[in-house]
Amino acid sequence: MIDVVKGDSQESARNKAIILILLDCGIRVSELANLKIDDVDMKRGVIIVMGKGSKQRLARLGLKTQKALWNYMVYRKNTSPWLWINRNGKRLTATGVQQMIRELGWKVGIRLHPHLLRHTFAISFLRNGANTFECQYALGHSSLEMTRRYCQALSFDDVFKRHELASPVDNALSK
Is residue 113 part of the annotated active site? The answer reads no
Q: What is the pLDDT of residues 53-112, one digit of tens each?
A: 888 999 999 999 999 999 999 999 889 999 999 999 999 999 999 999 999 999 989 999
pLDDT band at residue 174, thresholds of 50, 70 and 90? Answer: low
Task: For residue 151, give the 3-state DSSP assignment.
Answer: helix
Among 115, 148, 161, 163, which one carries the catalytic annotation? Answer: 115
Structural domains of the chain in order of their starting residue, each with its CATH number: 2-170 (1.10.443.10)
Among 6, 44, 52, 87, which one carries the catalytic annotation? Answer: 52
Q: Can you state the angle between helices 10-25 and 94-108, rounded to 10 degrees?
A: 90
Q: What angle do CA 67, 72, 74 make, to 5 degrees?
A: 95
- Check pLDDT > 60 for residue 175: no
Pick the closest to residue 133 from 147, 122, 120, 119 (CA basis): 147
pTM of the model as a whole: 0.86
**Average pLDDT over the chain, rounded to an integer:** 90
Predicted pLDDT at 28? 95
